[in-house]
């Protein structure tokens, strides 16, 4: 290798080290860019539709967002927190009911197999306990409750403090006010020979993120509404809270729907044996409707992500950035897919 090659390798290694060291800060910047992208696209749509100046359209967007957020915090969040705390209490009771049901049916099978008076009756639970200690219902309930409390603590700390949240919102607002100016300043870092190509790539990334945002909003609202209807029909407790959980977690593919199904299924266990199965079947049907009916109907507006890239981005960004990386994994995957296509399409 020549001296220039060694120099390039050293530069790459140093750059990688700097990026890794500043990964938390970079994630906040990425979060700001995603939010500003959403705001800018909404501004552009309102500006084109109502034929009004950009400052006025930005004011309208920020006003609507502020009203929605305030409404959520004042009207929706307090009862949701109350119901969610009740859910955390009821989930262990439902799991304890499963434990009792399994033990009862195994005992019946044991009696049916060996007879009540048989001397050869095998104590299945004693044999299992000789290998591994089976926790009782209270232990299971406590462990599950602590796990969900830890999950809430993680979700509550996603913003990493009020200061970081203010930083993200401030940067998002500043970029939203003058997006073209920031874009042109970034382009100054690119050599003139590649500047037009990079400008085109940024435009396609913006379009892809806008399409992804549109598809996710429609998809999540649809899943939330369907969950609300199904849980109301099945008469499952905490309908609104469970529907909101399903709507929010639908943003996280693969993992989100699984987590959102745990709550209503656990609550349904407190009623009777068939209701959890009905809830499980209903959630499976809802996810299939979302995947094969709703999403194809808006496919023209959707960033068509490769399944493998989606899964890799989820695990990769979660490993690197933590819980917030999981939430931002899809928009990051959208951008990465565009970058890969545009960078290597001529090769």
Domain around 47: 23-149+169-344
pLDDT (mean) for 92-96: 63
Residue 154 placed within a domain = no
Say how far apart CA 261 and CA 265 lie, in whole Å: 6
What's the confidence (pLDDT) of residue 227? 92
Asked which of 34-38, 118-122, 303-307, 316-320 is least confident by mean pLDDT, the reply is: 118-122
What's the confidence (pLDDT) of residue 196? 87
The DSSP 8-state label assigned to residue 273 in this structure reads S
What's the confidence (pLDDT) of residue 281? 92
* pLDDT band of 225, cuts 50, 70, 90: very high
Handedness of CA 69, 74, 76, 81 (dihedral sign): positive
pLDDT (mean) for 199-212: 85
Residue 163 placed within a domain = no
Answer whether residue 90 shows pLDDT above 80: no
Asked which of 165-169, 194-198, 257-261, 323-327 is least confident by mean pLDDT, the reply is: 323-327
Helices (H), the chain: 3-21, 23-50, 54-71, 77-114, 124-131, 137-156, 162-177, 179-187, 192-233, 239-249, 255-268, 274-289, 295-297, 307-321, 323-327, 329-344
Answer whether residue 250 shows pLDDT above 50: yes
pLDDT (mean) for 84-106: 65
Rank 39-48, 90-99, 111-120 by mean pLDDT and report only the highest.
39-48
- Residue 218 vs residue 309, higher pLDDT: 218
Cβ atoms of 246 and 260 within 8 Å: the answer is yes
Residue 190 placed within a domain = yes
Residue 214 placed within a domain = yes
Asked which of 146-150, 192-196, 248-252 is least confident by mean pLDDT, the reply is: 146-150
Residue 18 placed within a domain = no
Answer whether residue 121 shows pLDDT above 80: no
Cβ atoms of 47 and 57 within 8 Å: the answer is yes
What's the confidence (pLDDT) of residue 285? 92
Contacts of 341 (CB under 8 A, 6+ apart): none
Taking all residues of the chain, what is their mean pLDDT, rounded to a whole number? 76
CA trace torsion 177, 182, 184, 189 (10° rounding): 180
Q: Which tokens sit at 8?
A: 């390039």
Query: Mind listing the pLDDT tens digit for each residue in 286-306?
Result: 988 887 777 767 655 555 667
Domain count, the chain: 1
Residue 262 placed within a domain = yes
Residue 33's SS3 state is helix
Query: Mind listing the pLDDT tens digit for each residue in 257-269?
Result: 888 888 888 778 7
Say how far apart CA 227 and CA 313 lie, in whole Å: 27
* pLDDT band of 111, cuts 50, 70, 90: low
Cβ atoms of 279 and 269 within 8 Å: the answer is no
Residue 17 placed within a domain = no
Residue 308's SS3 state is helix
Contacts of 337 (CB under 8 A, 6+ apart): 208, 303, 305, 306, 309
Residue 164 placed within a domain = no
pLDDT (mean) for 20-29: 83
Answer whether residue 122 shows pLDDT above 70: no
What's the confidence (pLDDT) of residue 232? 92
């Amino acid at each position: 290798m020549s001296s220039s090659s060694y120099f390039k390798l050293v530069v790459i290694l140093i750059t990688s080290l700097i990026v890794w060291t500043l990964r938390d800060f970079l994630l906040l910047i990425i979060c700001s860019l995603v939010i500003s992208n959403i705001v800018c696209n909404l501004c552009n749509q309102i500006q084109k539709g109502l034929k009004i100046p950009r400052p006025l359209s930005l004011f309208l967007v920020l006003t609507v967002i502020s009203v929605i957020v305030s409404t959520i915090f004042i009207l929706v969040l307090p009862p949701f927190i109350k119901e969610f705390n009740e859910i955390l209490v009821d989930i262990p009771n439902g799991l304890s009911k499963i434990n009792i049901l399994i033990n009862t049916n195994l005992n019946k099978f044991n009696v049916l197999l060996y007879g009540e008076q048989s001397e050869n009756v095998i104590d299945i639970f004693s044999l299992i306990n000789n290998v591994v200690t089976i926790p009782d219902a209270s232990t299971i309930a406590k462990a599950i409750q602590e796990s969900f409390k830890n999950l809430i603590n993680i979700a509550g700390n996603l913003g990493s403090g009020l200061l970081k949240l203010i930083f993200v919102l401030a940067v998002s607002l500043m970029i939203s006010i003058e997006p073209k100016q920031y874009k042109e300043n970034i382009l100054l870092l690119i050599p003139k020979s590649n500047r037009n190509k990079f400008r085109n790539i940024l435009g396609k990334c913006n379009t892809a993120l806008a399409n992804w945002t549109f598809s996710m909003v429609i998809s999540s609202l649809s899943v939330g509404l369907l969950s609300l209807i199904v849980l109301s029909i099945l008469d499952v407790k905490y309908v609104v809270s469970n529907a909101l959980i399903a709507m929010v977690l639908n943003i996280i593919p693969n993992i989100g729907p699984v987590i959102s199904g745990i709550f209503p299924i656990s609550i349904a266990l407190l009623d009777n044996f068939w209701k959890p199965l009905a809830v499980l079947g209903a959630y499976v049907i809802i996810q299939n409707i979302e995947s094969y009916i709703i999403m194809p109907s808006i496919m023209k507006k959707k960033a068509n992500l490769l399944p493998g890239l989606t899964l890799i981005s989820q695990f990769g960004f979660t490993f690197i950035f933590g819980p917030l990386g999981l939430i931002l994994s899809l928009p990051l995957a959208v951008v990465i897919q565009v970058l890969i296509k545009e960078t290597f399409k001529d090769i």
